Structure 1
Amino acid sequence: MENIDDLNPEELRRWALEQKHRLEAAEAALLEKDRKLEDEERKRKEEEGKRKDEERKRKEEEGKRKDEERKRKDEERLRKEEERLRKEEERLRKEEERKRKEEERKRKDEERKRKDEERKRKAAEDHSHQQDRRREIAENIALDERRRREIAEKSSRRLTIQEYLESYHSIDASVPIITDPTQTTKGETTNPVGRLYPRRIIQWHNFSEKQEEIWDILSSSLSFSSQPLFPSRQAVEHDMLKIKPLNSEMALHDTQVSTVESVVKHLVDIVHKDPSLRSRLGLQGTVEFESHTNLGSTDTSLSYSLAQIPMGSAASGIENLEQPNQATHQKVRGKGNRADQFCIYSTSSHGKIPLVAIEYKPPHKLTQVQVATGLTSDIEPDRDVINQNGEGFEFASKWLTSAVVTQLFSYMVGKGIQYGYVCTGETFVFLNIRDDPSCVYYSVCIPKLDFEDDYETRLHRTAVAQVFAFVLQATRSTPPSQAWRNAVLNLDVWCVEYDDILKRIPETVRKEKRVSPYKPQRWKGFKRSPIRTRSRCLPVESVTRRSTSDDDTDDHDGDIPSPSADYVSRQKDKPATRQGTGSSKGQSSSSNQQGHSGNRQNVQTRPFCTHKCLQGMALGGPMDQECPNALDHGNKHISQQEFLSLVRDQLAVDLGDNADCIPLYLSGARGSIFKVRLSSHGYTLVAKGVQKVDVALLSHEEDVYDHIRNLQGIFVPVCLGIVDLIEHYYYDGGIFTHFLFMSYAGQPAFKFMEKAKGDAANEIIAAFSALHQYQVLHCDAELRNIVYDVRTRKYMIVDLERARVNPCQPLGTIGPNIQPQKEKQTLAKGRKDPFTQELESLQMSLSRCA
């Protein structure tokens, strides 16, 4: 600080002012400090006061607590005193109770002594009766054991045919029928479907006689008619557990499978094991019940199906050839492929043959009374039902039954099936389409009403027996001819859906209470049932020569078509009356010139020509004297072109029952296999038939065969070429326009490989190696495409439908066989060529089968 004396007045004045401010600030700070000290003192005193108050309160609470503790101790003392008094009272009570119990014990001891004395007295009285009672109990136990043993033996004992049929009839009679709308299914609303309908629905008056004929044959076997060959009652009771209340199509189907279809299958199996019955019935195999009519897997090659053809009796597209949509295949008219209709197949060495079509209608949709009322006389749908405005229960019943018969009829003619039945669980309507496909014959059977206790043939009228005999009828029939299938094309279409008709009939009419007019057919011709007496076991000649007289005056077609096996056996020694059909007259002169024997053997039993024989015909080579048909071929082969021309003309006219072209019931994704015989020259071989949409695929397969012509008859079948059919062939709902003719290749290789073992694998590899030498890649080298020819003792490759030809040896102008660019790039990188890969893959497949 500068000296004050040096300051001028103004500075001095400022300095004095500053000093004043400093003093004021110091005073203010002192005052603030004093104020804070006072506040702190005040707060301290307040806290001290609070502390004293709290101390005071604590002491007051302590005093209260001590008072409460004193009171508690006083109460505890009182409680203990009360407890002591209570225990004293309890002690006194227990003492009294003890005294009471002691008195009670004494009383009971006295009572026990009294009872002991009474028991001893009674024991003395009952002693003589106890031995009798023990002996009676022992006898009852022995009797129960014997009864249980007898029941067990009876349950496990195999049944006779009588017992077997009666057991399943009891099950059939006990199946619950559900009619309550709240517990039954209702059909979905669908648009009416165009179905082929019969011009006449005719009563089958001699149905029972046809069934009798079957049972008459069955009666000739002592073992079948009287021996215990059939499953025990335990097995029958097991099936009984599977029955369901009939309230839907599915419940009806499941119940029928368990109680009818599986039983029929077992009965047919038993018959098939009996050589005598098998021969007399012409039974070629067993039967199966399935839910579809696919005669071959659509994802399996046709050549694989071809491999299933037996001695006595390739394919759909390649990778680079455009595959037409399956939906573009032309179908014959009619509902021939509905999945909810069920078909029976006969499995034999010839494949699966559709025999009987089945339609299920639960009884709440088609009642017993409706069937019996609707099918009481012949029906002409055009006149009686279609576009008719009728009223009442009778018309409604005729409408419903005509619709359900049409539904099954359309399915049958579409698939070429001549036998079928409608089943409601309590009613069966058996159908038969004969030579005239515009007429269907029907017979109504109600097993519960047909089973008459006082009637000798009642067991034949059970559901199982009826279906069994009906199936055997079907196995004895011949397949429909092409003429029959052509006649189907003339049938008209009825836009009808059963559930739609059902909804259009008023509920009051459908539920109208009616008395059933059903009257069972009387089974004529049996004085005693063949399954109940041996007196009916006549010699074969007696049965086969039984009278064929028939009072069925409206059956203008006569008997059912002859059974296939019997037909074959009769045809072996029967002179031919025609070549194919009456219209094929143009072939007779050629036949005689070529040395035809004049006795025509049926194509079903005609053996296949040898590879060498057909190769000689294809290449103009010599005759093969080892060919089983050599005598029919004449002195020299006709040319391949002449063969194709003749067989094409023959197939256009040879359409009757004895036609020399039959389906072998083997189908693939793009075609089906037929057995064909050139009637005039006896050449017998197989043909692969395809529809128009698949002709390009068939042509490609023919080109592949032509490329490896030197291997034909050695490692692959002999291929004779394609013909475009003048008259289309109708089969399995398809319309076939072209046939590719080939020699018979053999049977599946896996049947013979176990015996050959290593030699078979080497021969198969050699066959594929030969194929590869011609730069042909099979593209599906699996065991399923290899067959074994028993005649040549060689393995053959089939299924060339996917085959490709390597570009180093192009196959003429076949564009689809050009090797893909990707494959060229793969080979350029040094990887294995496709031929090596195919052989390695084949070796792996063969090693797995070894």
Structure 2
Amino acid sequence: MSFCSQPRSQEWRNEYCRDLKVWITQFDGLRETVCSRELQQNPPSDDTNYVSPISPATSSEFQESLSPVESPRAPVRRVPTGSQGGCAPSDLGDHTGSVDSSGSEADYAAPGRKRGFSQVEVSPSQRLSRRNKRDNQRDISQRQQAEFCTQRCLLGLQNGGSLDDSCPNARIHQRSGDEVQHPINAAKLVSCLKQQIDEKIDRCIPFGTRGSYGAPFKLTCFPYGYTVVGKGTTSGLWRQHVSREADIYQILRKAQGSAVPVFLGKIDLAKIYFLHGAGQIRHMLVMGWAGESTAKLEQTAELRREIKRSKKTIRALGVRHSDLRPDNILWNAELGRALIIDFHRCELDCRPATERSRSLKRPQHKAQMPGAKRVRVI
């Protein structure tokens, strides 16, 4: 039966989990109760080396009893049938012969006989439920197939600039406004995303590989057509680590769209997204899609040069990343740049910008030997 049933949606889980009660259970007492009950049912035999599961010397190795007790089987009751031949042609002929030649079974159904599925009338509420289910499936399918907006598109949205013609969703943006300017700003986009997700949490589409501190989701805002990434995380990780990334992206605003992805805002979800392996997602950072992990790419000279360039950019703005693994450096083919993500472990350099700039430009000289004299140029 479990194989035939449809997977439960996130909306269904939120609705029913909200009404569930929580019982506090003492597992130690429960374990002793279960073990004593098992001893009463299956007492250890004299010829076995039995160790009490309650004693401290309990071994983790399972020891099977040499004299298992078989549970008594209830007598099987046979259902009387008119013929013991099973599905013989004569039996099929007897059943079908009682039906009128017109083929309609509804008018001549025997009393007490169950009607077929086609004969059961569908109530208006069932029709509405089926229609809503089809609409939801169509909505989810459109969101799964949506392409991500470009970094230039989102940078124009953030700064109040013009549309990016190379964005795959540019035509949808134009239908909601004029052909040049964005129809909304970044704050309005984040607000619309939150409203649509709070209505139906299944509009969050998980994709890609989750990290230690978050999992990526595809978020699409209708009718404007903006498709971005939501870094979803749990309440515990949000409080301890991830929430500070929003402040770091504001510090790195000048580097957005060149060394780091365009950051748009954050969302506190009204409902829970239950993601296997990640936990209960309650918060999201909203940003542009940065690209593919450099861990999967060939380390060419161009790639190494762009990675060094992005590292230098964020250092000049006073941010030490502290976790620059290849998975945290993504290659963006649109920009031809390496974009750095995941700033939950970063540290801030509080020195003045001019001093930080000098330290980055200062060459690394070799240590001067004792007694050596400097040459004075006249």
- Flag the 1:702–1:836 CA change in 2: closer, same or farther, 3 A: farther
Deviation, 1:698, is 2.9
- Flag the 1:516–1:683 CA change in 2: closer, same or farther, 3 A: farther
1:69-126 CA deviation, whole Å, 9 max, x = no partner?
A: xxxxxxxxxxxxxxxxxxxxxxxxxxxxxxxxxxxxxxxxxxxxxxxxxxxxxxxxxx
Match of 2:313 in 1: 770
Is the Cα–Cα contact under 8 Å of residues 716 and 796 in structure 1 kept in the other structure? yes
- Flag the 1:771–1:665 CA change in 2: closer, same or farther, 3 A: closer
Task: List aligned pairs for 1:41-52, cutoff 5 A.
Answer: none
Distance in 1 (CA, whole Å) between partners of 2:167 and 2:329 is 23
User: Which residue, out of 225, 235, 242, partners 1:698?
Assistant: 242
Deviation, 1:622, is 0.9
1:630-677 CA deviation, whole Å, 9 max, x = no partner?
A: 22222233111111211111111123xxx3212236433333322211
For 2:232, what is the secondary structure of its paired residue?
strand
Normalising by structure 1, we get a TM-score of 0.29
Aligned alpha-carbon RMSD (Å): 4.2
Match of 2:199 in 1: 653
What is the identity, as a one-letter code, of the residue corresponding to 1:746?
G
For 1:791, what is the secondary structure of its paired residue?
coil
Match of 1:747 in 2: 292
What is the identity, as a one-letter code, of the residue corresponding to 2:144?
Q
For 2:143, what is the secondary structure of its paired residue?
coil
Deviation, 1:504, is 2.5
Match of 1:789 in 2: 332
Match of 2:11 in 1: 482
Match of 1:637 in 2: 183
Distance in 2 (CA, whole Å) between partners of 1:777 and 1:615 is 24
For 1:726, what is the secondary structure of its paired residue?
strand
- Flag the 1:836–1:693 CA change in 2: closer, same or farther, 3 A: farther
Normalising by structure 2, we get a TM-score of 0.60
Distance in 2 (CA, whole Å) between partners of 1:717 and 1:518 is 69
Task: List aligned pairs for 1:528-543, cutoff 5 A.
Answer: none
What is the identity, as a one-letter code, of the residue corresponding to 1:651?
I
Deviation, 1:809, is 4.3
For 2:142, what is the secondary structure of its paired residue?
coil
Is the Cα–Cα contact under 8 Å of residues 14 and 272 in structure 2 kept in the other structure? no
Is the Cα–Cα contact under 8 Å of residues 329 and 341 in structure 2 kept in the other structure? yes
Distance in 1 (CA, whole Å) between partners of 2:143 and 2:345 is 31
Match of 1:735 in 2: 280
Task: List aligned pairs for 1:185-224, cutoff 5 A.
Answer: 204=1
What is the identity, as a one-letter code, of the residue corresponding to 1:511?
E
For 1:753, what is the secondary structure of its paired residue?
coil
1:172-220 CA deviation, whole Å, 9 max, x = no partner?
A: xxxxxxxxxxxxxxxxxxxxxxxxxxxxxxxx2xxxxxxxxxxxxxxxx
What is the identity, as a one-letter code, of the residue corresponding to 2:189?
F
Deviation, 1:780, is 1.9
Distance in 2 (CA, whole Å) between partners of 1:627 and 1:550 is 49
Deviation, 1:717, is 0.8
What is the identity, as a one-letter code, of the residue corresponding to 1:752?
L
What is the identity, as a one-letter code, of the residue corresponding to 1:603?
R
Higher relative contact order (CA 8 A, sep 6+): 1
Distance in 1 (CA, whole Å) between partners of 2:306 and 2:287 is 22
Deviation, 1:626, is 1.4
1:507 matched to 2:41? yes
- Flag the 1:836–1:786 CA change in 2: closer, same or farther, 3 A: farther
Is the Cα–Cα contact under 8 Å of residues 777 and 835 in structure 1 kept in the other structure? no
For 1:738, what is the secondary structure of its paired residue?
strand
1:710 matched to 2:254? yes
1:290-345 CA deviation, whole Å, 9 max, x = no partner?
A: xxxxxxxxxxxxxxxxxxxxxxxxxxxxxxxxxxxxxxxxxxxxxxxxxxxxxxxx
Alignment identity in percent?
25
Deviation, 1:836, is 8.8
Distance in 2 (CA, whole Å) between partners of 1:621 and 1:604 is 28
Match of 2:49 in 1: none
Distance in 1 (CA, whole Å) between partners of 2:208 and 2:70 is 45
Distance in 1 (CA, whole Å) between partners of 2:75 and 2:335 is 66
What is the identity, as a one-letter code, of the residue corresponding to 1:708?
L
Distance in 2 (CA, whole Å) between partners of 1:639 and 1:651 is 18
User: Which residue, out of 340, 344, 351, partners 1:808?
Assistant: 351
- Flag the 1:612–1:490 CA change in 2: closer, same or farther, 3 A: same
Match of 2:57 in 1: none
Distance in 2 (CA, whole Å) between partners of 1:789 and 1:747 is 7
1:433-486 CA deviation, whole Å, 9 max, x = no partner?
A: 946xxxxxxxxxxxxxxxxxxxxxxxxxxxxxxxxxxxxxxxxxx673333344
What is the identity, as a one-letter code, of the residue corresponding to 1:632?
I
Deviation, 1:745, is 1.0
Task: List aligned pairs for 1:379-390, cutoff 5 A.
Answer: none
For 1:604, what is the secondary structure of its paired residue?
helix
Deviation, 1:684, is 1.1
Deviation, 1:611, is 0.8
1:255-312 CA deviation, whole Å, 9 max, x = no partner?
A: xxxxxxxxxxxxxxxxxxxxxxxxxxxxxxxxxxxxxxxxxxxxxxxxxxxxxxxxxx
Distance in 1 (CA, whole Å) between partners of 2:348 and 2:149 is 29
Deviation, 1:691, is 2.8
What is the identity, as a one-letter code, of the residue corresponding to 2:41?
E
1:618 matched to 2:158? yes
Distance in 2 (CA, whole Å) between partners of 1:434 and 1:835 is 64
User: Which residue, out of 221, 226, 232, partners 1:689?
Assistant: 232
Task: List aligned pairs for 1:105-504, cutoff 5 A.
Answer: 204=1, 431-432=2-3, 434=5, 480-492=9-21, 501=34, 504=37
What is the identity, as a one-letter code, of the residue corresponding to 2:151?
H
Gaps of 5+ in 2: 43-67, 79-115, 121-125, 127-132, 364-378
What is the identity, as a one-letter code, of the residue corresponding to 1:481?
Q
Distance in 2 (CA, whole Å) between partners of 1:698 and 1:604 is 26
What is the identity, as a one-letter code, of the residue corresponding to 1:616?
G
Distance in 2 (CA, whole Å) between partners of 1:835 and 1:702 is 29
Is the Cα–Cα contact under 8 Å of residues 661 and 674 in structure 1 kept in the other structure? yes
Distance in 1 (CA, whole Å) between partners of 2:262 and 2:216 is 15
Distance in 2 (CA, whole Å) between partners of 1:638 and 1:661 is 21
Structure with more helix by fraction: 1
For 2:350, what is the secondary structure of its paired residue?
coil
1:604 matched to 2:144? yes
- Flag the 1:599–1:778 CA change in 2: closer, same or farther, 3 A: closer
Match of 2:58 in 1: none
- Flag the 1:479–1:834 CA change in 2: closer, same or farther, 3 A: farther
Distance in 1 (CA, whole Å) between partners of 2:9 and 2:362 is 48
Match of 1:586 in 2: none
Deviation, 1:722, is 1.0
For 2:271, what is the secondary structure of its paired residue?
strand
- Flag the 1:486–1:668 CA change in 2: closer, same or farther, 3 A: farther
Distance in 2 (CA, whole Å) between partners of 1:833 and 1:748 is 30
Is the Cα–Cα contact under 8 Å of residues 602 and 660 in structure 1 kept in the other structure? no
Is the Cα–Cα contact under 8 Å of residues 745 and 788 in structure 1 kept in the other structure? yes
1:722 matched to 2:266? yes
For 1:730, what is the secondary structure of its paired residue?
strand
- Flag the 1:516–1:717 CA change in 2: closer, same or farther, 3 A: farther
- Flag the 1:507–1:664 CA change in 2: closer, same or farther, 3 A: same
Distance in 1 (CA, whole Å) between partners of 2:160 and 2:74 is 76
Is the Cα–Cα contact under 8 Å of residues 611 and 713 in structure 1 kept in the other structure? yes
What is the identity, as a one-letter code, of the residue corresponding to 2:142?
N
Distance in 2 (CA, whole Å) between partners of 1:681 and 1:612 is 17
